[in-house]
C-alpha cells in the first residue's frame, strides 16, 4: 500500500454500469510488476517521442534510466513533463495504466544503490548496475542517468468489465 493515497474517481461515462473504481493498491501491484513501460517525452519543437524501457516502482514512484545523450534524456532536460504507460496487450482482460508526472534526475548515492538493487531484483543479474558519480554504470562501462517520476495523475483502463479509474495525487 502506498504511503500517499490518491483521490480515486470512476468515470462512469467510460465504464460498465456495474463497474467500481479499481483500488489504488491494485494499480500499484501492476505498476511494480510490469516488465516494460513506454515513456513519452516532448522534443524541443513540441513533437512527442515514445520509447519502451525497463523501470522500477519504489517509494511511491516509477524510476527509469537512460544514457545522457539519448533522445529521452535530452527531451527531459528541456521539459520534465512525461507520461509512462504499461498494461496488457489484450482487449478483454487486464488493465492498462497511464502515469503522468515530471521526471526528476536522481544523483543521491544511497537512493541510486537501492534502485540498482531493485533493478537487479526485478530483471535479474544481466541488469546489474554499479553506482558511480551520481549515476548507474553498467558492465560495459556505459553510464546512465536515473529519473524518478512521482505520479500527479494515473489513469487505469480495466478490460473485461470495462472501467476507467483516475487517481489524483496532491502535489504539495
Contact by Cβ (8 Å): 74, 67: no
The grid coordinates listed for 134 are 551520481
pLDDT tens digits, 18-48: 999 999 999 999 999 999 999 999 999 999 9
Taking every pair of Cα atoms in the chain, the longest distance, rounded to a whole number of angstroms, is 54
pLDDT tens digits, 125-154: 999 999 999 999 998 889 999 999 999 999
**CA neighbor of 164 nearest in space, from 27, 5, 2:** 27
pLDDT value, residue 172: 54
Please give the full DSSP string across 48-109, using - where no structure is assigned.
EEEEEE--EEETTEEEEEE-TTSHHHHHHHH--EEEEEE--S-SSSSEEEEEEEEEEEE--H
**CB contact set of 133 (below 8 Å; sequence gap of 6+):** 143
pLDDT value, residue 2: 46
pLDDT tens digits, 51-106: 999 999 999 999 999 999 999 999 999 999 999 999 999 999 999 999 999 999 99
Distance of alpha carbon 166 from alpha carbon 7, whole angstroms = 8
The domains found in the chain, sorted by start residue, are 7-107+146-168 (2.30.110.10)
pLDDT value, residue 121: 98
Q: What are phi and psi for residue 148, nearest 5 degrees?
A: -120, 130
Read off the DSSP letter of residue 169. -
pTM for this entry: 0.94
pLDDT tens digits, 114-126: 999 999 999 999 9
Amino acid at each position: 500500500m502506498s504511503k500517499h493515497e490518491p483521490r480515486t474517481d470512476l468515470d462512469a461515462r467510460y465504464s460498465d454500469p456495474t463497474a467500481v473504481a479499481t483500488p489504488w493498491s491494485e494499480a500499484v501491484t501492476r505498476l511494480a510488476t510490469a516488465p516494460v513501460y513506454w515513456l513519452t517525452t516532448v522534443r524541443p519543437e513540441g513533437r512527442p517521442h515514445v520509447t519502451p524501457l525497463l523501470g522500477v516502482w519504489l517509494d511511491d514512484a516509477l524510476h527509469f534510466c537512460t544514457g545522457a545523450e539519448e533522445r529521452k534524456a535530452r527531451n527531459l532536460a528541456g521539459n520534465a513533463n512525461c507520461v509512462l504507460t504499461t498494461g496488457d496487450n489484450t482487449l478483454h482482460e487486464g488493465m492498462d495504466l497511464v502515469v503522468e508526472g515530471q521526471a526528476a534526475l536522481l544523483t543521491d548515492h544511497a537512493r541510486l544503490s537501492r534502485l540498482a538493487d531493485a533493478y537487479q531484483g526485478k530483471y535479474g543479474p544481466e541488469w546489474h548496475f554499479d553506482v558511480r558519480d551520481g549515476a548507474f554504470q553498467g558492465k560495459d562501462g556505459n553510464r546512465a542517468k536515473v529519473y524518478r517520476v512521482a505520479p500527479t495523475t494515473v489513469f487505469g483502463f480495466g478490460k473485461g468489465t470495462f472501467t476507467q479509474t483516475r487517481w489524483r495525487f496532491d502535489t504539495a
